[in-house]
Each structure stands twice: as structure tokens, then as C-alpha cells.
Structure 1
Amino acid sequence: MIVRPRPNWFRMLLIVRGSVLPAILPQLLIYLAFAVIVTLLHGRIFVWKVSLTFVPFSLIGLTLAIFLGFRNNTSYARYWEARVLWGELLNDTRSLARQSLTLIDGSTQSRVFVHRLIAFVHALRHQLRGTDPGADLQRWLSESERASLQGARYKPSAILLMAGEWLREQRQKGLLAAPLAQAMEVHMGHLSDALGGCERIASTPIPFTYAVIIHRTVYVYCLLLPFGLVDSIGAMTPVIVTFIAYTFFALEALSSEIEEPFGTEPNDLPLDAMAEGIQTTLLELLGERDLPAAPKPVNYVLT
């Protein structure tokens, strides 16, 4: 995620880091060169004059804008839902940690439960990004707990089960009254819901056909655009074509980037930082004060 102060209006025009310009720059240069060639040839291909006006481009451009708007709205909805789910993870793990410390009579094992919650958050982060959770699980789970996870395909779900088993043990020992156990199970259910919601977003992309339609339309539209403008605006054709191409290419690239919010692109969610934040607040509830500083962005990017 890009984290930086908003610059003034002039610097905003020149910013490259944090924008999608590096990703689309090769295409822009190709279309700029093509527009220059069309302008120099006055819209001719060999001896054939391509007679186009701006009228069809106005009609197609309106339709294309609607499609791009739909794609961007859908991608941002997925991005924002993912952020809300991780906000729920923070709230529910914090509530469970507090309840384990205040509602269970005489228990000295709340640290085990809280560590399992931390391990759950890190395991979910790794599952969503397809990385190895081994190092994080070693920090927060005992050897026997890690052994029970061997072969588990969905480790966050298995760790959540282990946290639920801890609650059952406290109830069976008479340390946790049944109504209070039910209240804690509500938050456990919310964690399960957040887990399922994140898995749904990660495993269900926007239908591929939308990307194909928009991609083809954008590139063909910008390819034909110089022929429709050269007779009207002459030497300014390459400038206008490049500007319009930048707008369409950038919108397409941005929607494609935030469509998968759990990735590692600059505009994706900072799962590492959010998991560390949840870890820190839970350890603080346990009474620990020697805690690491909050993650800081590197080159304005927070991962």
C-alpha cells in the first residue's frame, strides 16, 4: 500500500513512484510512436487513406468508459471488503484476548490462547499470499502444536480449531462459565467468517472475459484513434492520443492490480504490516511492553 503525504498540485503531476506509469510506459511509447507515424503520413497506409472522424470514437469512448467504471468499481469493492475483513480480524482477536484475560477464573494459560490467535493471523496472511508460514508458526506455537498441523492444507482453520479446543478445556475445568463461553464463541465465529471471506476473495477473481473485452477494446480504440483525429487536429494528434491512451491504460492497469488485494503490488493491502499490528496489540494486552516499532514504509510502500 502506498503511504505518503499528499504533495502539492505540481509535484502530483510529476509523481512516478506509486503510480501505474512504469507498468504501462512501454505501451504508451509504442502508441506514441504509432501516432507520430500516422500524423506524418496524414492518415495514409501506403496509398489508402483511412477516412475516420471523431464521431465513432465519441460513441465507443462512452461505452468504454462505462465498462472501465464497472471494472474499477468491482475491483475496489473487492479491495475494500478485504480491508474490512482484516479490520474485523483485529477487533475480534483483541476482544478474545481481553475476554480470556478477564472472564476466565484463575487461568494462567491465556498466553497460550493469545499466541494461537497470533499464529492464526500470520497463517492466514501466508495462505492468502501463498508463502511458507513455518517461521511464524515456530515463534507462536509449541512443537506439539506445530506437529498437529503437519499435512494440514488450511492451517488457519486448523489453528482456529486449536483455539476453540482451548476454550473447551477451560469450560471443562470449570474456569469458564457456559454463558461466557458462548459469548467468546461469537467472536470465534466472526474469525471463521473473516477467514472464509478472505478465501472467497482470493479464490474467486473477476470473470476473465471482462478483462479480455476491456483489454481488446482499449487497445483497438487507441490504435485507431490517430486516424480519427489527424485530419482535425494535425500535429497535436500524438499528444492527444498519448494522453487518452494513458487514461485508459492506467485505469485498466489499476483495476487489475487491486483486483487481487492480497498480493504484493504497491497498491495492494499491507498484510505484513496489518498482521504485525494485530500481533503487537495482542502482546500488549498480555502485559508485554518491550514491543517492536510499527512497520515503516520503504520508498513509500508498506507491504
Structure 2
Amino acid sequence: MISYNPKEWFSFIFQFHKGDTFRKLLPAMIGIAVYSYGVAYLEIEYWKLSNGSHVKNITLMHNMLGFVISLLLVFRTNTAYDRWWEGRKLWGSMVNNSRNLAIKLAVMLTDKADKDFFRKLIPAYASVLNLHLKSAEISHELFDDKTLSQEHYQHKPNQIAKTMLAKINQLYLDKKLSGDQLIILNKELSSFTDACGACERIKNTPIPYSYSAFIKKFIFTYVLTLPFGYVFQLGYYVIPVVVFIFYVLASLELIAEEIEDPFGNDPNDLPTQKIAENIKKNVEELIY
């Protein structure tokens, strides 16, 4: 995720970074510029259309559809941002749940070996969940002599949660934890799996294909018809105007595409790796 100061206006205007849509859209913008020039040349130089031509009235269509396309893009962007923000809230709850579980275990447990077990395992869940949501290959060492097998365990966050619950149940059987304490800790462990399932729901449920495809086709058709009508008012200045309109509309769609899956490696995705590292620091400070 890109860190920035929202109060530095000039850095936004004059600097480009790898997440900027301008870089991604530059080839398409060049193509739109060439296309707009071709339309302007044909209407002005070749066909020599007059101001009385019916082609000029195409701008009426743009005026009517401009409001529709703005509503579609606002809804698309808001929907994508809701998914991004929900993902951030889920990882925020992961931080709080990890701290709460660590605090309770630090107080309830007295054996150093038991504390060391959870000191490694609690942050391991966040670290493995981060890789799991990125669909990365996981070979995460829980202990110095034990590694989760890629072949045997397909869902490693579940395996870590199961291992922690099994350990807590064994502590109960060994009379190191009371029944009331077992119930309290079970609630904390369940919250890990709940957060994992909610993150998977966001990742595995993209925006419906028909909706996303329709917006792209709408933007493409809208922009390609712009030069025909506005050549009469702008002449060859229609080229930069159409390119700029395309940049604005397409950028909104690109931003929505990027943030609708907030767990990837795009510049504007959530810093899940950093959050997992912070969880590790917090747990190690609490359990010692």
C-alpha cells in the first residue's frame, strides 16, 4: 500500500508512481488521440461538413448519457471501496483478536513452554492468512522442527487454528486451564476463522461479469462517439479533450478493479504483510 501525506497537493499533481492509472492507460490514450485526429480530419478536411449537419446533434446523446455513466461509475467505485474497507476492518479485528488472545493466555498460563507455543502460533496465523489470500505458495515453519506440508494441508490457516484449539483442549485436560477459561479462549479462536472466512468471501466473489463488462463497453462506445459531435465546436482541439475524458472515465474503472480485491500485491491493496508483522511484535511483547 502506498504511504503518502494527503495534505501535499503538488506531490499528487506532478509526481507519478507505479499505481498511477496514467501509465496503464497511456497506450490506449495514444490510440484515442490518433482516432480523434482521424475523425476530425475526415469531418473538417475530407467531408467538409457544415454546422448544419445532423452529425452535430450527436452531442445531445452525450448530454443525456453523461449523467447515466456518472451514476454507474460512482456506484462501481463505491462498491469496490466498500470491499476494500471491509477487508481493512477484518484485518483490524484480526489485530485486536490476536492481542486479546495473547493477553489472556499470558495471564492464564504459567508454563514457559506453553507460552512459547502460542507466542509463535498466534502471529503465524496472520502471516499464513496473508499468504493464503494472495494465493501464494506457503511453507511456513511453526517450530524449528516442524513445517506445514503443502501436499497434506490445503487450507493452512484452518490447520493453524486447529493446532491452537487442540493445544488449548490439551491444557484443559491437563488441568492447566479451567472450563470457564476454555470457553473464553474458544471464542477468541473462533474469531480468527470468522475473519478468515469473511476475507475469502471478498476475494472469491468478484463484481458480476455482466456488470463489469457493460461498464467497459459503455465507456468505450461513449468515448468513441465523442469526436463526431464536438469537432464542430472544438475543431482539432477535440483531440486533447476526448483523451482527457477517456482518461477520467477509464481511470475510475481501473481504480475500482484494483481495490475490489484488497488482498493482492497492487500498490493500493491493503498492507496485510505489514499488519501481520505488527501482530507478531504485539504478541511477542505480551507473551514472554
User: Do they superpose with TM above 0.5?
Assistant: yes
CA distance in 1, matches of 2:222, 2:86: 32
Aligned residues of 1:104 and 1:170 also touching (Cα < 8 A): no
Aligned residues of 2:148 and 2:156 also touching (Cα < 8 A): no
Query: Do the aligned partners of residues 81 and 101 (structure 1) sit closer, same or farther apart at CA in structure 2, a change above 3 Å counting?
Result: same
CA distance in 2, matches of 1:204, 1:44: 51
Aligned residues of 1:85 and 1:197 also touching (Cα < 8 A): yes
Aligned residues of 1:38 and 1:227 also touching (Cα < 8 A): yes
Q: Which residue in the other structure is 1:88 paired with?
A: 93
Measure how far apart 1:239 and its partner are.
2.1
Measure how far apart 1:146 and its partner are.
3.1
Measure how far apart 1:33 and its partner are.
1.9
Question: Does residue 148 of structure 2 align to residue 146 of structure 1?
Answer: yes
Specify the code of the residue in structure 2 equivalent to 1:90. Answer: V
| Structure 1, unpaired ranges of 5+ | 288-303
Counterparts of residues 254-273 of structure 1 (less than 5 Å): 254-273=255-274
Q: Which residue in the other structure is 1:179 paired with?
A: 180
CA distance in 2, matches of 1:100, 1:191: 15
Aligned residues of 2:42 and 2:48 also touching (Cα < 8 A): no
Specify the code of the residue in structure 2 equivalent to 1:258. Answer: I
Query: Do the aligned partners of residues 118 and 41 (structure 1) sit closer, same or farther apart at CA in structure 2, a change above 3 Å counting?
Result: same
Q: Which residue in the other structure is 2:55 paired with?
A: 51
Measure how far apart 1:206 and its partner are.
1.0
Structure (1/2) with the larger helix percentage = 2
| Structure 2, unpaired ranges of 5+ | none
CA distance in 2, matches of 1:274, 1:155: 19
Specify the code of the residue in structure 2 equivalent to 1:59. Answer: M
Sequence identity of aligned pairs in percent? Answer: 28
> How many residues align structurally?
283
TM-score normalised over the length of structure 2: 0.91
Q: Which residue in the other structure is 1:201 paired with?
A: 202
CA distance in 2, matches of 1:46, 1:141: 77
**SS in structure 2 opposite 1:41?**
helix
CA distance in 2, matches of 1:188, 1:103: 15
Measure how far apart 1:25 and its partner are.
1.2
Counterparts of residues 64-103 of structure 1 (less than 5 Å): 64-103=69-108
Measure how far apart 1:232 and its partner are.
1.8
Aligned residues of 1:72 and 1:255 also touching (Cα < 8 A): yes
Q: Which residue in the other structure is 1:290 paired with?
A: none
Query: Do the aligned partners of residues 144 and 3 (structure 1) sit closer, same or farther apart at CA in structure 2, a change above 3 Å counting?
Result: closer
Q: Which one is further off, 251-260 or 3-12?
A: 3-12
**SS in structure 2 opposite 1:109?**
helix
TM-score normalised over the length of structure 1: 0.87
CA distance in 2, matches of 1:221, 1:44: 24
Q: Which one is further off, 44-53 or 58-67?
A: 44-53
Q: Which residue in the other structure is 2:127 paired with?
A: 122
- RMSD, matched Cα: 2.1
